[in-house]
């Protein structure tokens, strides 16, 4: 018999601390209860994982064969990374005495992640702290090994072996944690088929600089069309990716839950929520994002657009027309600005093609002189391929980027979205 309520137990778990009681109550009512006897195996190393576990009573040990890594007591949780990555379990877990567990499935986990911005924020923070803790532990182990190796001058072969093992372990752990972040980000990006369900001619060119990206895109179906969003968060890699998850979750809250559809009002609301979520009025965070956001009404042939430092380009009859963005970001250093984001209204014609994008493509260094590609050349490229289908345009832009970049390193994340009416 478990004498601690499930809701109280979840509240003590780091990931769920501070989550509203009603939300925890809903989650608690859906969890599967499990019991294991002493020495019984709970997780087998090498098996595919699809759930995390919260320990209610008793103790469990994390081990690799006969070698015990850690012993966990009630209130601890394990297996959380398997919810984000389908890689085999890296360690086994067994009951030390009779234990009671609660199982949280991958489906339940992603349901929380995608529908609750605050949950997403806390999960990101928890994973970040765990990543930092693991890396600090690895560094401590390396220092201990180095002290040991200094006393083994005559055992040179052993020294080299240990060094190589520790370096390999560190690289594996860091790469694994970045891959977990990638799983979170991949889960929030819309499938191109969903975009094409609203627009038959559409493409997304998405090339992260690292494993994860500071750029992200969103898609919200509407009765007569859809809302499309291209966003560029501060930085790239893990830092940018974590902010992209928060931004996407807040956009879901604004568009899907609050049903705000005017582009300018969406950006105004997002700005306020980013500032509040990241505590930017009193904290040290200066993270922000640049966004181009448009809503397309196919029934009335109307496109409305608003931008935070990112424009919208429209190609019509061989001419490229620029719709300028407001010159301030979402969140970040410019927390307060006097004006609201402006919504532009554009009457659409058949075969009009519009593009929203981040700055990564135009900022890429390359060519014979190692210079930036620049927005002028990007405009010329789009005009030159305007007669092609949207999928052919995506392929053409990708090839032009590779040819320009050559042997240069990609310096930023790349995102371009294109739609033909």
**b/e per residue 18-38 (b: at least 16 CB within 10 A):** ebeeebbeebbeebeeeebee
The pLDDT of residue 122 is 66
The pLDDT of residue 376 is 96
Sheet holding 77-78, edge to edge: 32-36, 99-105, 51-57, 77-78
Q: Which long-range contacts (CB under 8 A, 24 or more apart) does 382-391 make?
A: 382/313, 382/315, 382/320, 382/355, 383/315, 383/318, 383/319, 383/320, 386/315, 386/318, 386/353, 389/201, 390/201, 390/202, 390/203, 390/353, 390/418, 390/419, 390/420, 391/203
Which residues, in sequence order, are CB contacts of 33 under 8 Å at separation 6+?
2, 100, 101, 102, 103
pLDDT digits (tens, 9 = 90+) for 306-329: 999 999 999 999 999 999 999 999
Given a contact cutoff of 8 angstroms between Cβ atoms, the answer to whether 215 and 242 are in contact is no
Sheet holding 312-316, edge to edge: 201-207, 414-420, 353-357, 312-316, 319-323
Residue 296: strand, helix, or coil:
strand
What is the reported pTM? Answer: 0.65
**Short-list 402, 397, 389, 391, CA closest to 416:** 397
- Which residue matches tokens 């930017």? 280
Paired with 118 in beta bridges are: none
Which residues, in sequence order, are CB contacts of 184 under 8 Å at separation 6+?
84, 113, 123, 124, 127, 241, 245
Alpha-carbon separation of residue 146 from 154, 156, 174 (angstroms): 14, 13, 20
The pLDDT of residue 369 is 92
Q: Is the dihedral of CA 131, 134, 138, 139 positive or negative?
A: positive
Is residue 118 classed exposed, middle or buried when 0-12, 13-18 and 19+ CB atoms within 10 A define those classes? middle
pLDDT digits (tens, 9 = 90+) for 376-387: 999 999 999 999
Given a contact cutoff of 8 angstroms between Cβ atoms, the answer to whether 247 and 274 are in contact is yes
The pLDDT of residue 1 is 36
Alpha carbon dihedral 175, 179, 180, 186, in 10-degree steps, equals: 160
**Short-list 244, 232, 217, 239, CA closest to 363:** 232
pLDDT (tens place) for every residue of the chain, 421 residues total: 344 478 888 877 777 776 777 777 877 888 889 999 999 999 998 888 888 899 999 999 999 888 888 899 998 888 877 776 667 888 899 999 999 999 988 777 777 766 666 666 666 666 666 666 665 665 566 567 666 666 655 566 666 676 777 777 766 766 666 666 677 777 778 989 999 999 999 999 999 998 788 899 999 999 999 999 999 998 666 677 778 888 988 999 999 889 999 999 999 999 999 988 888 777 777 888 999 999 999 999 999 999 999 999 999 999 999 999 999 999 876 656 668 999 999 999 999 999 999 999 999 999 999 999 999 999 999 999 999 999 999 999 999 999 999 999 999 999 999 999 9
The pLDDT of residue 414 is 96
């Amino acid at each position: 018999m478990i004498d601690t309520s499930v809701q109280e137990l979840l509240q003590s778990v780091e990931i769920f601390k501070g989550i509203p009681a009603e939300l925890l109550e809903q989650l608690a009512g859906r969890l599967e209860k499990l019991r294991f006897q002493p020495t019984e195996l709970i997780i087998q190393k090498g098996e595919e994982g699809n759930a995390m576990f919260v320990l209610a009573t008793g103790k469990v040990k994390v081990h690799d064969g006969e070698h015990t890594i850690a012993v966990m007591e009630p209130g601890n949780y394990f297996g959380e990374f398997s919810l984000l990555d389908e890689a085999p379990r890296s360690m086994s877990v067994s009951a030390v005495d009779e234990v009671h567990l609660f199982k949280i499935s991958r489906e339940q986990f992603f349901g929380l992640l995608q529908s609750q911005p605050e949950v997403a924020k806390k999960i990101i923070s928890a994973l970040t702290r765990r990543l930092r803790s693991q890396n600090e532990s690895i560094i401590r182990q390396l220092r201990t090994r180095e002290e040991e190796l200094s006393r083994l001058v005559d055992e040179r072969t052993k020294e080299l072996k240990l060094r190589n093992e520790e370096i390999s372990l560190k690289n594996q752990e860091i790469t694994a944690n970045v891959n977990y972040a990638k799983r979170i980000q991949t889960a929030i990006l819309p499938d191109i088929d969903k975009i094409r369900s609203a627009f038959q001619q559409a493409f997304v060119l998405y090339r992260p600089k690292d494993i994860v990206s500071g750029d992200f895109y969103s898609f919200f179906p509407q009765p007569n069309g859809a809302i499309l969003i291209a966003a560029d968060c501060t930085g790239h890699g893990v830092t940018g990716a974590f902010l992209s998850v928060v931004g996407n979750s807040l956009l879901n809250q604004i568009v899907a839950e609050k049903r705000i559809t005017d582009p300018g009002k969406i950006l105004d609301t997002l700005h306020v929520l980013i500032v509040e979520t990241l505590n930017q009025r009193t904290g040290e965070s200066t993270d922000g994002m640049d966004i181009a956001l448009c809503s397309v009404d196919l029934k009335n042939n109307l496109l409305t657009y608003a931008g935070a430092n990112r424009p919208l380009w429209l190609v019509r009859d061989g001419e490229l027309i620029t719709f300028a963005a407001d010159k301030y970001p979402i969140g970040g250093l410019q927390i307060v600005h006097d004006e609201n984001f402006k919504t532009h209204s554009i009457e659409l014609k058949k075969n009009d093609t519009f593009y929203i994008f981040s700055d990564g493509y135009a900022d890429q260094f390359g060519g014979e002189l190692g210079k930036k590609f620049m927005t002028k050349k990007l405009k010329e490229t789009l005009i030159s391929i305007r007669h092609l289908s949207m999928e052919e345009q995506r392929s053409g832009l990708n090839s032009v980027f590779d040819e320009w970049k050559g042997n240069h390193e990609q310096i930023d994340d790349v995102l371009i979205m294109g739609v033909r009416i």
